[in-house]
Amino acid sequence: MSEEERLEGLDRRLNRSSLVVVLIAMPLILFLHSAKAALSVGAGAVLSYINFHWLKQAVDFVVLEGAQGRKARRILFRFVARYVLIAVFLYVTIHSSVLDLVFVFAGLLVYVVAILIECVSEVFRVLIQDYRNART
């Protein structure tokens, strides 16, 4: 498997892990806290998804294409716009009572949790592989 295929698999695993985290967290928070809190986690998770993918797109563009070409402005716009989007969303959240700020921040951490899950699973995969190689 090539490095590019492994990285594409990583993207799929991170998306899947983040979706599983949200699908577990939202009903749990709904049960333990409120619908407003669960909706806030979902909104934060959507922002986390946008932020992660726009950041990944910008980094991939700079690394793979050297920030050259016609797409550079659009990629730069998205790189900056992700901060603006989060700031505006948090500002509106603070100044309205539609969402709960703490739970929005929890939703923003969904990809951090997904990355931690991926790190732990990778460590276990390597340990199991080493254990099997040592036994043979």
- Ordered by start, the domain boundaries in the chain are 3-135
Name the pTM for this structure. 0.79
Q: pLDDT exceeding 90 applies to what percent of the chain?
A: 45
The pLDDT of residue 4 is: 62
Are the beta carbons of 57 and 116 closer than 8 angstroms?
Answer: no
Name residues of the chain where pLDDT drops below 70: 1-8, 66-69, 136
Residue 39 phi/psi, 5-degree rounding, is -65, -35
